[in-house]
Amino acid sequence: MKQSSLPGETLGQKFWNAVGQRSKQVALRQKLFGVWDEITWTEYGAHARRIGMGLAALGLQPGDCVSILANTRREWTYCDFGAMLAGLVVSGVYPTDSAEQLEFLCADSHSKILIVEDDEQLDKALQVRERLPALVKIIVIDMEGLRDLNDPQIISLQALEALGQSHDEQHPALFESRLNSRHADDVAILVYTSGTTGKPKGAMLSHRNLRAVMENFPVQLPQGPEDDKMSFLPLCHIAERMFGSMLSLERGSRMNFVENPDT
């Protein structure tokens, strides 16, 4: 039985409609130094919009691919939906993958932007970037330990958001144009197989494909704005992506990001 009341042909449109409908409701929480920090849908949308417009400012066009190499945290979802707001395709990379695996995935997906979590993940990117000619920029979420870094190809997520804010103000019609640039049968995300029988293969999942699960989720497992979910599995895996962020988008349930799975 179809439960959805959230309109939108694409996940980007669904996300933006959710921001408009839910505004001050809490979308997600992340534990920082033992305290839950709450993010409303309005704040969630603002981060995603700035990121999407920042990616547009870097020259990415609808259908271009962005890869995310990070542990499960709120910035992962900001970047995921931000990219989709700008009409981009998102490919997740396991944080445990080696530099060689990262190189293969970025090359195979033709990623133009790589978003990494911190200095540890950045090191992997730096080992292989010379063999990734399509790569335009590397975005770093957590710049701790990298304050003195001076590399024209690398910027912080904070700087990307500032760029997006400025680009949005200078091109007021661009956001709506990018939001409506993709359609139901266009690819939304790439999910790579484990590669146990050869090179990993990227499953191309369309907006229609993802919506079919989101909108027809079993009524035996209801969830809504009063429900909380703990998110700790890798977001590059379709299970956490769907049962975590995408169903929270569809039904309005709150995602909670743990400090680490052990605690």
Are the C-beta atoms of residues 189 and 241 closer than 8 Å to each other? yes
**pLDDT at 66 > cutoff 80:** yes
Q: The tokens of 56 are what?
A: 């547009």
**Considering the chain, what is the average pLDDT of its residues?**
94
Cβ-based neighbours of 14, under 8 Å, separated by 6 or more:
6, 7, 8, 211, 214, 249, 250
**pLDDT at 1 > cutoff 50:** no
For residue 155, the SS3 value is strand
**pLDDT at 2 > cutoff 80:** no
Give the lowest-confidence range in 120-124, 135-139, 196-200: 196-200
Which pLDDT belongs to residue 106? 98
Residue count (the chain): 263
Stretch 148-159: mean pLDDT, rounded? Answer: 95
Higher pLDDT, 75 or 34: 75
Q: The tokens of 235 are what?
A: 């977001």
This prediction's pTM: 0.95
For residue 93, the SS3 value is strand
Strand partners, 90: 66, 189
Stretch 228-245: mean pLDDT, rounded? Answer: 93
Stretch 7-36: mean pLDDT, rounded? Answer: 95
**pLDDT at 4 > cutoff 80:** no
Which pLDDT belongs to residue 94? 95
Give the lowest-confidence range in 24-28, 31-35, 187-191: 31-35
Stretch 80-101: mean pLDDT, rounded? Answer: 97
Are the C-beta atoms of residues 132 and 106 closer than 8 Å to each other? yes
Q: What values do phi and psi take at 24, rounded to 5?
A: -85, 0
**pLDDT at 3 > cutoff 70:** no
**pLDDT at 65 > cutoff 80:** yes
Q: How far apart are CA 78 and CA 53, in angstroms?
A: 12
| Residue appearing with tokens 């980007």 | 12
